[in-house]
Structures are given as C-alpha cells and as structure tokens.
C-alpha cells in the first residue's frame, strides 16, 4: 500500500489495481464512464511499495471520488474481476508475516487541545475492541489469516492492545514544506503546527521507545498519530511532494495524486530479511480526516472538509458544488454523536476516518511488515487490492444533520460499529468457489445433510461440499521450504469407533478425478452394526480456523455384540480408503490388555488419571491445553476445563456454571470441553482447544489457574460404573 514518484510513468499508466479492472468488467456503461475520466486526466489512485526520498514505505494514497459510485455498485452486486492469476499476489520467498501483535498508540501531541479527547476515546476504544475479538472470524481482520511465511504459520488475528500514550515532546523545526498550510482565516483557533518528515518521526519514535523502555521486535507495532495542523511528508514537500496534505488548486492536480492518508514502514538495524529483536515496526496516521462538522477546521475553506476515507472527496476532479448535489454522503461516521457535541460542533465522528486508516495499515503491516512479503507484481499490498470496496453496510445513507457525513457501518467488533475497507481474499483467485476476492469477514460453516435411514453393510454417502469456506486455498511453506499449494481440510468422524477420514475438496490440485485420497469433502462410509451414530464434520481452513457440525444417523441392522463397539469403513469419493487425524480431544490410548466385556458385574469400575501438562499460557491459547491421561479399560466420557468465576468475570470470559464440585470448592465456570472415547485401556494425550474469544481473553492474563475434570463411564451394558478425577495447574506467560 504505497505510492512512488516515478516521472517516466503517469499515475494512470501505472495503476493496475483489481478494483479498476473489476470496474471495467461491469459493462459498457461504467467502462465508458471510466474512460471519460481518464481522458480528462482525473488522478486514479496508484499503489506501489517502493522508496520515496529516504523512506521505503507502504503508503495509502487518496482516491478520486469519481470512481466511488461504480465501485460501490460492484461491492453491492458481488461483481468482481476474474482477470487476476494466483501467482500475481504472492510471497515467493516466504518472508515474515506477524503471528501476534502488541499494538501501541502514540499520539505525538505537545498541546492536547489539538487532538480532541472524544477522538482519542473513539480510536482507543476501537483498538480495545479489536483486541477483545482476537481470533474471531466475524470481522475484516480474519481475512488476513490466510497469509503465511516460512515458519509455516499463518498471520494471526492475535491483537493485544498494549495501550495509548500522549507524547508531549515539542515538534522539531519543520523539515518539509506543507503544500497547503492552515491559516488563521481557514481554521480560526487552529493553526499550522509543523511539517514533519518521516526521518523526524522515526527519530522521535526511537527516542520515545528508548526513554520509556518500551518493547520492540517483530511482535510490536507502533502507530504514531498527529493532530490537525501537522503535515507529514516522505520528502521535502512543496506542491509536488508526497505529503499528507495537498494543494487544492486545479493547476496542481499532481499534489493531490502524490498525497497520502497514512503509511507504514520499519526501523530495522538488524536482519533486513526477517527482522530481529531490535526491529521497530510502525505506522503513521496523520490527521487526514478533514474537518466536516468542525467549526474551526472547516468553517471557511470547505474543500478541507472531505478528506481521507477511501472514496473521499477530491476537489480536483469535482467542484464542491457538484459534490453537494450528489446523492448520499461520501464520508461515513457511524460513531458521530447527536449534534451538537459538547464543543458546539458536529465533529466527534471524524475519528471514524482515522480508524479506517489504522485498520488499513494493520492489515498491510500484519501481512507485509518488512515490505517484502505479500504483494502483487505491481507491489500492491492486501489493502490496495480491495481499495474502495466496503461490504454492504447498515445505517443511514443520507448525511447526518450538521456532521455532513453518513452513518453507515459495515463492521460490528465487540459491540462497536465501524466503517472499514474490505480485505483482499487471495483464496478467491485460487478456487472458483466461492471465489469472492474482497471480504469484510470470513465464513467457516461446515454443512452436510445426513441420510434419514440407512442399513448396516451398505455404503452411505456424506457430502460436505455444501459447506461455506471462505479461506479454502492459499500457499504454505512446509518445513520452511518453497511455497506449495494449501487447501482447507475436511475430517469426518463417523461415531462408530472407526478411524476418521481426512482430506481435501475437489478443485484442489491434489484432489483430481477420479477423486481419491486425499479427497474427503465427499465420502462414503459403511456401518457394521445398527444403531444411532453421531457423525461429525470438522473443517480447518488455510488460516487455521476450525469449526464442526454434527448430525445423528440411524442405521438399521443387528446390534453390536455385548460390550463391543460399532465399527465401519470410510472412504473418499471413488472408493479409496482414507485416514487422517481425528479431533484432538478424542484419541485412542495405546493398546494394553482390556477388561473383559460383559455384564455390569463382570466389568470392573474404571480407573483413570488425568493431568494438565505445564506449558506457557500463550502457547496454550494458540495450540490448545495439553492433557495426559490413562484409563484401564474402554471408556466414554468428557473433559471439562474450569476457571474461577471471579477470574472469569475479571477477564470477561463466559461459560456455564460448573456443578457437582467437591464441597467447599469456589464457584467455577466451564470454559472448554472435549469428548473422550477409547476402545481399550492405555495412556495417551489430547489437546483441548478454547474458543477464539476465550483464548483472546486468557492471553491478557499474566498467569491463570485452571482446573481439569475428567468424567468417564465404562462399557457395561447395564448400570455402567463411573469415575471422576480432578486436577489443577497454574500457567503463566
């Protein structure tokens, strides 16, 4: 996400973003309109990761409003370009992505009057809510989890809001020339404060980190935010400079084309290829929200009112009079309070525009932190590929009175409403279904329609191809080697004790006709005995997100022998036998002599042990809680992971109250469960996974005490005996 001043090529000639190609694909009407705009010399946004002056950066440029209507139609109708090839967006060398992010907000504001408290509150709350929903699949940041590096681990939606700080260090002498500085006539009580270069911002950020002993490295991300009156440039500025401000005169259209809304880069004195503990990853978000509804910032010169939100007003391409007559607002402020605000203006929602820029930078930083990872052949990053695409939104399309902005929201994050640019879904290029290239969340919904009745000894079909899987294809780097195709994995557990069947779906390159191993999206299975069986389909997408669905299947036929268990054989489509890892919390122990099957009197009471393996809390939240257990015979039961109700309340973790605890036990909540089914006695281990919301909240704690309860019953045909064991452990970071 960046721009580059390359005199030999015009912005129009170098722009090859999918959004423009998609616009051309809509039809003759939109294509003709775009051609007319290009003929008039209207600047079209361009994005390249490259170097301006001394800074290599990914920069979010402003976009022309004149493209907004056509792009909005594309977004609402689902029409997207199919001209891209998968290899045009890649990370061929497997360069780093971020697997977790401690996000720091640094407001460089010597005089707090210039950055209103309500703006800070809105921005800080947004980061808090993004952090609270880490590992969620229901917002735009989940789309980035499909992008992997040589560690063969995906870019996680794992955000820890590390807090906000107001840096009151005075601004240095301006190192650049603002193309259009604020004047008293324009802004009343707000004046031009400074024109800062990226070099000056880097120096202050490094000073801030050193002075306060703040952390650095590949897990920390710093956002530097500056107030109205501060312009940031990547070079020396002036009308032709690459700055956060621009000249509004028609003769200086190049100034607008070179201007930007935000950017990201890194300070990396160590390993330039992969970063190290001294690397500082940062984003810069100047006040590029304009001043709509603000009586100080926009009371006189209203061309400053419509600024950076993708699709924002461009005074070069359309006079203000035409914009005022347009239907609907081009800026969306879902958090604008009822006008007027406490200061008498209607500008509280302006921070929504800054929030969108932070969201854009966050996506690009996670997938391309050192500017050498996921890009296309023209060096567009993930946020560039879907620039100007906003998923269908809720709210008012018309302008809110006084604020001169709409109230559309297309994201709900931990209860907050936001209007954020869609993220690029490379999986949409790799497989035709579902084939959507711009998303604001992901779908992972396993589905299959179970047969109503079947007979033992006869094959029964299960089709998981009706499932919704957004992230169904990507590239991974197994063993740290070269990039290879990766696909969503389908795993079936037929509920009869047979080995699970695991594999891919047709359309993936390893799964070709005749559909054989490792194909498992459609499977056949034969039950040996009659009964009712719970069939579970688990799908793991390329981002590591996992979901399951279960249905009962009724099989008519002879019952299993007394004390035995049902069995059967499964296969992928085409009849070839297939096997794979089942759910991690239902494994069979290693073989040991089992108790004799028979009546309840003949089967001894089960003897079980279970204990949590001591491990780092962070690893537990990512990989699951490792538990070792032993049983002396065939048993069925379940694990419960319990957390003190008082701790759960403090961490905002939800769960069902635990019952049946020993007398005197403190109240506990059940925060995770797993099923245990064995076919014989022995020892083994399982991993019990937390929900993504629970894992995100556990990650905030420095240490947590967990209780493990295992309840089992044996295989007696009547009056089965039960046993319960309880253990506990304290885990820390």
Tens digits of residue pLDDT in 126-175:
999 999 888 888 999 999 999 999 988 889 888 999 999 999 999 999 99
> Is 418 part of a structural domain of the chain?
no
User: Is 436's pLDDT higher than 70?
Assistant: yes
CB 602 within 8 A of CB 524: no
Tell me, what's the pLDDT at 45?
37
CA distances in angstroms from 282 to 198, 367, 391, listed in the order given = 11, 14, 27
Tell me, what's the pLDDT at 294?
81
Categorize the per-residue pLDDT at 392 as very low, low, confident or very high, splitting at 50, 70 and 90.
confident
> Is 483 part of a structural domain of the chain?
yes
Give me the residue label for tokens 């740290």.
480
Q: Are residues 81 and 181 in the same domain?
A: yes
d(C-alpha 235, C-alpha 171), whole Å: 17
d(C-alpha 89, C-alpha 66), whole Å: 27
Categorize the per-residue pLDDT at 326 as very low, low, confident or very high, splitting at 50, 70 and 90.
very low
Tell me, what's the pLDDT at 471?
93
Closest CA to 224 of 59, 102, 105: 105
Q: Are residues 399 and 480 in the same domain?
A: no
User: Is 589's pLDDT higher than 60?
Assistant: no
Categorize the per-residue pLDDT at 271 as very low, low, confident or very high, splitting at 50, 70 and 90.
low
Tell me, what's the pLDDT at 640?
93
Domain-terminating residue out of 355, 382, 403: 403
User: Is 351's pLDDT higher than 50?
Assistant: yes
The stretch 386-406 carries a mean pLDDT of 71
Task: Supply 210's token pair.
Answer: 């050193």
d(C-alpha 485, C-alpha 373), whole Å: 17
Structure-model confidence comparison of residues 651 and 310, the more confident one: 651
Tell me, what's the pLDDT at 173?
96
Tell me, what's the pLDDT at 187?
47
Q: Are residues 31 and 91 in the same domain?
A: yes
The stretch 451-469 carries a mean pLDDT of 91
CATH of residue 500: 2.60.40.10
Tell me, what's the pLDDT at 311?
44
Task: Supply 335's token pair.
Answer: 């958090």
Ranked by mean pLDDT, which of 88-92, 183-187, 233-237 comes out on top?
Answer: 233-237
User: Is 670's pLDDT higher than 60?
Assistant: yes
User: Is 276's pLDDT higher than 90?
Assistant: no
* 315 CB-near residues (< 8 Å, 6+ apart): 248, 256, 303, 306
Q: Are residues 646 and 535 in the same domain?
A: no
User: Is 580's pLDDT higher than 90?
Assistant: no
Inter-helix orientation angle 28-39/68-77, to 10°: 150
Q: Per mean pLDDT, which range of 357-361, 495-499, 678-682, 720-724 is the poorest?
A: 678-682
Q: Are residues 479 and 330 in the same domain?
A: no
Grouping H, G, I as helix, E, B as strand and the rest as coil, residue 382 is helix
User: Is 368's pLDDT higher than 60?
Assistant: yes
**Which uninterrupted H or E stretch holds 444?**
strand 444-445
d(C-alpha 373, C-alpha 360), whole Å: 16
Q: Per mean pLDDT, which range of 102-111, 318-327, 637-646 is the poorest?
A: 318-327
Q: Per mean pLDDT, which range of 439-453, 458-472, 579-593 is the poorest?
A: 579-593
> Is 415 part of a structural domain of the chain?
no
Tell me, what's the pLDDT at 302?
42
Tell me, what's the pLDDT at 400?
60
Tell me, what's the pLDDT at 184?
58
Structure-model confidence comparison of residues 390 and 174, the more confident one: 174
The stretch 349-372 carries a mean pLDDT of 95
Tell me, what's the pLDDT at 516?
53
User: Is 115's pLDDT higher than 80?
Assistant: yes
Domain-terminating residue out of 549, 566, 583: 583
Structurally, the chain folds into a number of domains equal to 3
Structure-model confidence comparison of residues 559 and 24, the more confident one: 559
Tell me, what's the pLDDT at 91?
92
> Is 416 part of a structural domain of the chain?
no
Tell me, what's the pLDDT at 383?
86
d(C-alpha 587, C-alpha 493), whole Å: 11
User: Is 252's pLDDT higher than 80?
Assistant: no
Q: What are the tens digits of pLDDT across the range 293-302? A: 887 775 444 4
Categorize the per-residue pLDDT at 396 as very low, low, confident or very high, splitting at 50, 70 and 90.
low
Q: Are residues 607 and 569 in the same domain?
A: no
Tell me, what's the pLDDT at 374?
94
Tell me, what's the pLDDT at 570?
55
Categorize the per-residue pLDDT at 639 as very low, low, confident or very high, splitting at 50, 70 and 90.
very high
User: Is 204's pLDDT higher than 80?
Assistant: yes
Domain-terminating residue out of 403, 435, 451: 403
Q: Per mean pLDDT, which range of 400-404, 417-421, 646-650, 710-714 is the poorest?
A: 400-404
Q: Are residues 527 and 589 in the same domain?
A: no
CB 362 within 8 A of CB 413: no
Structure-model confidence comparison of residues 563 and 442, the more confident one: 442
> Is 78 part of a structural domain of the chain?
yes
Q: Are residues 181 and 213 in the same domain?
A: yes
Tell me, what's the pLDDT at 457?
93
The stretch 12-33 carries a mean pLDDT of 28
User: Is 314's pLDDT higher than 60?
Assistant: no
pTM above 0.75, yes or no: no
The stretch 615-629 carries a mean pLDDT of 84
User: Is 648's pLDDT higher than 80?
Assistant: yes
Q: Are residues 541 and 623 in the same domain?
A: no
> Is 417 part of a structural domain of the chain?
no
Q: Are residues 566 and 596 in the same domain?
A: no
CA distances in angstroms from 471 to 86, 346, 366, 489, listed in the order given = 14, 41, 17, 11
Ranked by mean pLDDT, which of 81-90, 230-239, 507-516, 699-708 comes out on top?
Answer: 230-239
The stretch 710-717 carries a mean pLDDT of 82
CB 487 within 8 A of CB 508: yes
Q: Are residues 563 and 615 in the same domain?
A: no
Tell me, what's the pLDDT at 327?
43
Tell me, what's the pLDDT at 211?
94
Structure-model confidence comparison of residues 27 and 471, the more confident one: 471
Ranked by mean pLDDT, which of 222-226, 584-588, 670-674 comes out on top?
Answer: 222-226
HSE-CB of 334 using CA atoms within 13 angstroms:
19
Q: Per mean pLDDT, which range of 342-356, 370-384, 568-582, 662-676 is the poorest?
A: 568-582
Q: What are the tens digits of pLDDT across the range 540-555? A: 999 888 888 999 999 9
d(C-alpha 686, C-alpha 578), whole Å: 22
User: Is 360's pLDDT higher than 70?
Assistant: yes
Tell me, what's the pLDDT at 546?
85
d(C-alpha 640, C-alpha 65), whole Å: 55
Categorize the per-residue pLDDT at 210 as very low, low, confident or very high, splitting at 50, 70 and 90.
very high
> Is 191 part of a structural domain of the chain?
yes
**What residues make up the domain containing 722?**
584-733
CB 437 within 8 A of CB 85: no
Q: What are the tens digits of pLDDT across the range 52-73? A: 766 789 988 875 432 233 333 3
> What share of the chain in percent tops pLDDT 70?
75
Mean of per-residue pLDDT scores for the chain: 77
Closest CA to 15 of 464, 553, 378: 378
Phi, psi of 203 (to 5 degrees): -60, -45
> Is 278 part of a structural domain of the chain?
yes
Give me the residue label for tokens 């620039």.
387
> What share of the chain in percent tops pLDDT 90?
36
d(C-alpha 600, C-alpha 580), whole Å: 34
Q: Are residues 178 and 287 in the same domain?
A: yes
Please name every residue paired with 656 in a beta bridge, in sequence order, or none if there are none. Answer: 670
């Amino acid at each position: 996400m960046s721009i580059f001043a390359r005199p030999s090529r015009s912005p129009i000639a170098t722009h090859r973003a999918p959004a423009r190609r998609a616009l051309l694909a809509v039809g003759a009407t939109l294509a003709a309109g775009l051609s007319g705009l290009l003929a008039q010399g209207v600047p079209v946004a361009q994005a390249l990761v490259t170097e301006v002056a001394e800074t290599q950066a990914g920069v979010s440029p402003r976009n022309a409003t004149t493209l907004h209507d056509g792009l909005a139609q594309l977004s609402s109708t689902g029409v997207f370009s199919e001209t891209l090839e998968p290899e045009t967006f890649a990370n061929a060398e497997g360069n780093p992505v971020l697997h977790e992010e401690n996000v720091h907000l640094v407001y460089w504001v010597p005089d707090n009057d210039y950055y209103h408290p309500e703006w800070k509150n809105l921005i800080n709350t947004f980061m808090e809510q993004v952090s609270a929903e880490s590992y969620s699949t229901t917002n735009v940041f989940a789309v980035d989890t499909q992008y992997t590096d040589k560690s063969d681990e995906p870019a996680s939606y794992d955000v820890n809001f590390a807090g906000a700080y107001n840096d009151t260090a005075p601004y240095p002498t301006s190192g650049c020339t603002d193309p259009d500085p604020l004047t008293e006539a324009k802004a009343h009580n707000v004046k031009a404060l400074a024109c800062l270069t990226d070099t000056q911002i880097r120096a202050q950020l490094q000073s801030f980190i050193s002075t306060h002993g703040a952390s650095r490295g590949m897990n920390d991300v710093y956002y530097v935010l500056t107030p109205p009156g501060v312009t940031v440039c990547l070079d020396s500025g002036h009308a032709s400079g690459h700055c956060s401000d621009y000249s509004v005169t028609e003769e200086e259209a190049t100034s607008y084309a070179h201007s930007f809304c935000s950017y990201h880069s890194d300070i990396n004195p160590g390993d330039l290829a992969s970063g190290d503990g001294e690397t500082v990853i940062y984003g810069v978000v100047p006040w590029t929200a304009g001043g709509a509804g603000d009586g100080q910032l926009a009371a006189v010169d209203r061309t400053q009112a419509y600024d950076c939100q993708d699709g924002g007003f461009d005074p070069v391409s359309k006079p203000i009079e035409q914009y005022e007559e347009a239907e609907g607002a081009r800026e969306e402020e879902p958090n604008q309070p009822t006008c007027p605000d406490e200061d008498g203006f209607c500008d509280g929602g302006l921070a929504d525009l800054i929030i969108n820029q932070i969201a854009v930078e966050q996506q690009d930083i996670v997938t391309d932190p050192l500017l050498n990872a996921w890009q296309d052949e023209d060096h567009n990053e993930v946020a560039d590929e879907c620039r100007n695409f906003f998923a269908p939104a809720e709210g008012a399309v018309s302008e809110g009175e006084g604020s001169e902005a709409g109230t559309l929201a297309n994201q709900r994050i931990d209860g907050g409403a936001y209007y954020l640019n869609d993220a690029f879904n490379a999986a949409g290029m790799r497989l035709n279904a579902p084939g959507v290239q711009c998303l604001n969340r992901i779908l992972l919904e396993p589905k299959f329609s179970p047969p109503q009745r079947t007979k033992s000894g006869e094959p029964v079909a299960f089709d998981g191809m009706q499932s919704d899987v957004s992230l169904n294809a990507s590239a991974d780097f197994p063993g740290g080697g070269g990039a290879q195709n990766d696909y969503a994995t389908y795993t079936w557990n037929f509920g009869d004790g047979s080995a699970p069947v695991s594999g891919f779906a047709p359309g993936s390159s390893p799964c070709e006709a005749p559909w054989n191993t490792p194909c498992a999206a459609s499977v056949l299975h034969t039950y040996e005995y009659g009964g009712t069986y719970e069939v579970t389909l688990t799908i793991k997408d390329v981002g590591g997100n996992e979901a399951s669905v279960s249905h009962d299947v009724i099989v008519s036929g002879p019952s299993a022998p007394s004390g035995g268990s049902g069995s059967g054989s499964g296969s992928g489509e085409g009849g070839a036998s297939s096997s794979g890892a089942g759910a991690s919390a239902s494994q069979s122990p290693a073989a040991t002599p089992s108790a004799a099957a028979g009546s309840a009197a003949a089967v001894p009471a089960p003897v079980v042990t279970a204990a949590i393996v001591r491990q780092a809390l962070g690893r537990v939240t990512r990989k699951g809680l490792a538990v070792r257990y032993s049983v002396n015979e065939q048993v069925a039961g379940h694990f419960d992971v319990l957390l003190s109700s008082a701790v759960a309340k403090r961490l905002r973790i939800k769960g069902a109250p635990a019952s049946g605890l020993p007398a005197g036990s403190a109240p506990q909540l059940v925060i995770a469960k797993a099923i245990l089914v064995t076919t014989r006695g022995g020892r083994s281990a399982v991993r019990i996974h937390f929900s993504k919301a629970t894992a995100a909240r556990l990650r905030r704690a420095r240490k947590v005490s967990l209780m493990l309860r295992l309840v089992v019953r044996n295989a007696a045909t009547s009056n089965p005996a039960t046993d319960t064991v309880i253990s506990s452990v304290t885990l820390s970071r």
